[in-house]
């Protein structure tokens, strides 16, 4: 570890902190006050009129139904685009249609905000499939996450405009505002910044070149910058190229790397300010943000420390060990840039990678797993990250109420048995689908046959795949060959359930809370800001999120670490 590395880490968090309030205030006006940008307002009205969208409010059931129908239609369209891509335009490489099981996995992956990729983008998908299918879903999935969050927030915070009939907003209005006011302009500006750094954006066929050494090489081309911008700002993670943000055409410089890391967590961080503004309790919003910052800093500190250590297998060799574990990392980013990127990618549902996560030390890889197993509440995906954090807030407030013998209250509303049951189901959902998929795959020959490494590291590869799928992250320990019928279908099911059942449970809580009367805070009301609240919230996240998976972590990365110290690898 170096001072320069820690300076980079500290600078990034300060930049995000400085931008949290202005962006959070903008998001508040977009969704709750509707800014009067004449051109965008004109487009919005025309879209509503063309699509026949009515602006009336929806209760939680209609909101959830609209959300599900929109996303199921997205799965169908992306699936059809892939299997028929050889008949569609913008296919200069004449790539064939994608096999049905891989096409289904990819369609579910991008619609569910997971962006799990069991394929090599530059050799599997045409430019049309990348743009019309995947890049569009980067916008749609992120817009769905934002819509779900604001519906959840309205239910919790008892917005006056919807309290009469149990309305929590209108999905179509929230979705289109996400497109017009947030993701389209944000991604356009960010794509230009990336192009200025050297990220490619063209429709040229692959180029055959000869290097200075006389080696013939094929360079993949394509509209990369537009997809990279949407994958980062929308915390999506799907790479245009197989090696994602490690590719020099996708992430060419240390500055582009810094920009991508900042953009990855900017909207999730800003939403804490937005939430505090909606709640009329800004201290509560800042408390949520600082809990996220503390958890994220703990994660990057562990990763950076262990990745800075040299492998015990090399101690006896006459080598300079100052670089630490540099296998699978890009020299232009260094250990700090790789460790921080990996930490933020698993703190969020983004899942991009600028290094090979399978090459991390056992403890470094375990922290990436823990970031996801916590529920991806440390920033998380746009909208759904804070959505998940608020589930833990509800549980924390309930436990605090039990401690003092009072009916728990949250921001002026009573938390009762119905809401707690839904919150517990939300938290229990992920251990069920992650551990079920992992156990099934480790006990079946068609699951074991896909792993590159046996022993505890092979266990970690399978556990990582189902954790990444359930939490809609999309990153992977690449030693697992997931392009088989079993993994394509089982991971697709895991992604779908992890995404939409969790959102439905949250919207059910919103529907239950929206009609409740506001109460005046009393001396017995547990404060939802300050050190005590942040400490309790972090404790609940660790106890419920991390300790649930302690046994499987012991069998996987922890056992591998002990073997690693004895000079044994798998």
Q: Is the predicted pLDDT of residue 162 greater than 50, yes or no?
A: no
Helix (H) or strand (E) run with residue 217 in it: strand 216-219
**Gyration radius (Cα) of the chain, Å:** 23
Report pLDDT for 163.
46
Report pLDDT for 430.
92
How confident is the model over 548-570, as pLDDT tens digits?
A: 888 899 888 999 888 888 877 77
Report pLDDT for 524.
65
- Give 437 or 239, the one with higher predicted confidence: 437
Over range 188-193, report the average pLDDT: 95
> Are 560 and 358 spatial neighbours (Cβ–Cβ below 8 Å)?
no
Residues whose CB is less than 8 angstroms from the CB of residue 479 and which lie 6 or more positions away in sequence, other chains included? 358, 451, 452, 453, 457, 458, 461
- DSSP letter string, 173-184: HHHHHIIIIIIH
Residue in the structure block whose two tokens are 């992650």: 434
> Are 121 and 239 spatial neighbours (Cβ–Cβ below 8 Å)?
yes
Report pLDDT for 44.
87
Rounded to whole angstroms, the Cα distance separating 549 from 515 reads 36
**What's the total number of domains in the chain?**
1
Rounded to whole angstroms, the Cα distance separating 507 from 377 reads 17
Q: Is the predicted pLDDT of residue 15 greater than 70, yes or no?
A: yes
Report pLDDT for 564.
81
% pLDDT > 70, the chain: 96
> Are 455 and 560 spatial neighbours (Cβ–Cβ below 8 Å)?
yes
**pLDDT tier for residue 319 given thresholds of 50, 70 and 90:** low
How confident is the model over 104-156, as pLDDT tens digits?
A: 999 999 999 999 998 888 889 999 999 999 999 999 999 999 999 999 998 88
**pLDDT tier for residue 529 given thresholds of 50, 70 and 90:** confident
Find which of 35-49, 498-512, 555-569 is predicted with most confidence, using mean pLDDT.
498-512
Number of helical (H) and strand (E) elements in the chain, helices listed first = 22, 4
Over range 38-46, report the average pLDDT: 86
**pLDDT tier for residue 522 given thresholds of 50, 70 and 90:** low
Residues whose CB is less than 8 angstroms from the CB of residue 287 and which lie 6 or more positions away in sequence, other chains included? 528, 529, 530, 533, 534, 537
Over range 86-100, report the average pLDDT: 93
How confident is the model over 276-318, as pLDDT tens digits?
A: 999 888 999 999 999 999 999 999 999 999 998 877 777 667 6
> Are 235 and 223 spatial neighbours (Cβ–Cβ below 8 Å)?
no
How confident is the model over 440-477, as pLDDT tens digits?
A: 999 999 999 988 888 899 999 999 999 999 999 989 88
Q: What angle do CA 563, 567, 570 make, to 5 degrees?
A: 60
Q: Which residue range is the domain that position 241 belongs to?
A: 19-203+219-277
Q: Is the predicted pLDDT of residue 219 greater than 80, yes or no?
A: yes
Q: Is residue 503 part of a domain?
A: no
Lowest-pLDDT range, 88-102, 397-411, 455-469? 397-411
Helix (H) or strand (E) run with residue 61 in it: helix 60-83
Average pLDDT, the chain: 89
**pLDDT tier for residue 198 given thresholds of 50, 70 and 90:** very high
CB atoms within 10 A of CB 48: 15
Over range 518-524, report the average pLDDT: 69
Strands (E), 42-157: none
Rounded to whole angstroms, the Cα distance separating 24 from 268 reads 9
Report pLDDT for 164.
54
For residue 146, give the 3-state DSSP assignment: helix
Q: Is residue 58 part of a domain?
A: yes
Q: Is the predicted pLDDT of residue 195 greater than 90, yes or no?
A: yes
CB atoms within 10 A of CB 315: 10
Q: Is residue 169 part of a domain?
A: yes
**pLDDT tier for residue 215 given thresholds of 50, 70 and 90:** confident
% pLDDT > 90, the chain: 54
Q: Is the predicted pLDDT of residue 338 greater than 80, yes or no?
A: yes
- Taken in order 181, 184, 189, 193, the sign of the CA dihedral is positive
**pTM, rounded to two decimals:** 0.93
Q: Is the predicted pLDDT of residue 175 greater than 80, yes or no?
A: yes
Q: Is the predicted pLDDT of residue 70 greater than 80, yes or no?
A: yes
Q: Is residue 100 part of a domain?
A: yes
Q: Is residue 306 part of a domain?
A: no
- Give 497 or 164, the one with higher predicted confidence: 497
Over range 89-105, report the average pLDDT: 93
């Amino acid at each position: 570890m170096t001072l320069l590395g820690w300076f980079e880490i500290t600078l990034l968090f300060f930049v995000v902190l400085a931008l949290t309030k202005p962006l959070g205030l903008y998001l508040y006006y977009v969704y709750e006050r509707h800014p009067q940008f004449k051109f965008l307002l004109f487009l919005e009205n025309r879209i509503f009129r063309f699509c026949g969208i009515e602006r009336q409010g929806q209760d939680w059931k209609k909101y959830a139904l609209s959300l599900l129908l929109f996303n199921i239609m997205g799965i169908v369209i992306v699936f059809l685009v892939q299997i028929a891509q050889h008949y569609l335009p913008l296919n200069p490489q004449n790539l064939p249609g994608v096999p049905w099981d891989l096409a289904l996995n990819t369609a579910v992956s991008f619609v569910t905000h997971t962006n799990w990729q069991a394929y090599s983008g530059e050799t599997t998908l045409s430019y049309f499939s990348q743009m019309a299918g995947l890049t569009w879903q980067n916008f749609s999935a992120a817009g769905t996450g934002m819509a779900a969050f604001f519906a959840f927030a309205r239910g919790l915070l008892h917005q006056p405009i919807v309290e009469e009939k149990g309305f929590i907003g209108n999905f179509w209005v929230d979705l289109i505002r996400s497109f017009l006011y947030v993701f389209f302009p944000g991604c356009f500006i960010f794509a230009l910044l990336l192009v200025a750094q050297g990220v490619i954006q063209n429709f040229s066929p692959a180029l055959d070149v000869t290097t200075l050494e006389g080696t013939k090489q094929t360079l993949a081309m394509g509209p990369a910058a537009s997809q990279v911008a949407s994958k980062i700002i929308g915390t999506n993670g799907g790479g245009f190229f197989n090696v994602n943000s490690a590719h020099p055409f996708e992430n060419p410089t240390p500055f582009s790397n810094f920009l991508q890391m900042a953009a990855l967590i900017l909207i999730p961080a800003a939403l804490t300010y937005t939430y505090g503004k909606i709640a009329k309790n800004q201290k509560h919003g800042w408390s949520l943000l600082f809990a996220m910052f503390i958890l994220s800093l703990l994660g990057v500190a562990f990763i950076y420390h262990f990745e800075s250590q040299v492998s015990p297998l090399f101690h006896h060799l006459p080598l300079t060990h100052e670089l630490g574990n540099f296998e699978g990392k890009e020299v232009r980013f260094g250990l700090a840039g790789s460790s921080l990127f990996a930490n933020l990618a698993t703190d969020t549902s983004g899942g991009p990678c600028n290094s090979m996560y399978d090459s991390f030390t056992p403890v470094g890889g375990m922290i990436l797993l823990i970031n996801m197993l916590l529920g991806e509440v440390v920033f998380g995906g746009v909208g759904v990250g804070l959505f998940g954090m608020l589930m833990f807030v509800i549980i924390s407030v309930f436990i605090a109420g039990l401690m003092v013998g009072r009916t728990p209250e949250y921001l002026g509303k009573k938390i009762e048995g119905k809401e707690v049951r839904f919150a517990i189901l939300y938290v229990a959902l992920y251990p069920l689908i992650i551990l079920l998929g992992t156990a099934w795959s480790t006990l079946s020959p068609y699951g074991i046959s896909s792993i590159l490494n046996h022993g505890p590291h092979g266990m970690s590869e399978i556990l990582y795949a189902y954790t990444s799928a359930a939490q809609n992250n999309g990153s992977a320990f690449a030693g697992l060959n997931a392009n088989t019928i079993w993994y394509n279908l089982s991971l697709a099911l895991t992604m779908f359930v992890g995404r939409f059942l969790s959102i439905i449970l949250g919207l059910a809580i919103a529907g239950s809370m929206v009609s409740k009367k506001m109460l005046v805070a009393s001396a017995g009301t547990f404060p939802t800001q300050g050190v005590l609240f942040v400490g309790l919230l972090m404790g609940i996240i660790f106890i419920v999120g991390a300790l649930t998976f302690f046994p499987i972590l012991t069998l996987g990365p922890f056992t591998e670490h002990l073997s690693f110290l004895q000079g044994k690898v798998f």
